[in-house]
Amino acid sequence: MKIQDFITALDAFFDREDMEGAGEYLRYVHRSAEAEGDRRLLFTVLNEMMGYYRKTREEERGLESIAAGLRVMNELGLADRPEGATAILNAATTMKAFGRAEEALSYYDAAAAIYEKAFSPDDYRLAGLCNNRALAMVDLRRYREAEELYRRALAILSRCGGRETDIVNTYVNLAHLYDALGRYEEIEQCLENALDTLERITVRDGYYAYTSRKCAPSLGYFGYFEAERELNERADRIYAGNRAG
């Protein structure tokens, strides 16, 4: 199986919000890649498994995917390459999701060292690294560093173009940081910026639906109940259309 064919098929499950189907497909391709000895495909599958089990909150499987993914990364000689850095970043973010923020820091450092050399300062992948590392910093109550990372992510994304959904997520994350800091007057501006950015997006695909669904609970948490309802309904319509199509 070609790697791009695997990614396209997996994305189709996510575009329909079919998490159960995505999990079954991941495990099927994982078995096939192992049976065929296709290490490149296996590496890609394990990367996707990290993210999948992070979303489904399956800690044991998520940690198994990290160990296996990093092992295959080393076997392929990718540990100091951008592909390897992406796997390391994915592993760190998954660790953070399972309450291992302190353990994840050295992985974020390793990914950053590679990304900083491989990509321009305005590359969206650096913004993703900043965003995910900032979430770990919040868990560790290192709030000043988290704010700096979020601000850097926003600066990069504003120069990239076409990364509006990432901007939305960053503003919502920043609102939660200001909540933790008690800087309540800044929360409203972050949320208004997030909603304004969502409204400007014209391509409302599966990833737009995912972003809307992901941000909706945060808006409800801050009392934006109408916006929460609208985002969930918007996501419902997109996913329903994808299933029908």
Q: How do residues 55-67 score in pLDDT, each as one tens digit?
A: 999 999 999 999 9
Q: What is the CA radius of gyration of the chain?
A: 18
CA dist., res. 173 & res. 186, Å (int): 12
Average pLDDT of the residues of the chain? 97
Domain for residue 5, yes or no? yes
Into how many domains does the chain fold?
1
Domain for residue 40, yes or no? yes
Q: Which two tokens stand for residue 25?
A: 């497909």
Domain for residue 159, yes or no? no
Full residue range of the structural domain in which residue 29 is found: 1-101
Domain for residue 72, yes or no? yes
CA dist., res. 64 & res. 52, Å (int): 12
Domain for residue 11, yes or no? yes
> Tell me, what's the pLDDT at 245?
76
Domain for residue 25, yes or no? yes
Helices (H), the chain: 3-15, 19-36, 39-56, 59-75, 82-97, 101-118, 124-139, 143-160, 164-181, 184-200, 206-221, 225-244
Domain for residue 66, yes or no? yes
Residue 67: CATH number of its domain:
1.25.40
Domain for residue 235, yes or no? no
Q: What is the DSSP-derived secondary structure letter of residue 1?
A: -
Q: How do residues 153-180 score in pLDDT, each as one tens digit?
A: 999 999 988 899 999 999 999 999 999 9
pTM of the model as a whole: 0.93
> Tell me, what's the pLDDT at 161?
85
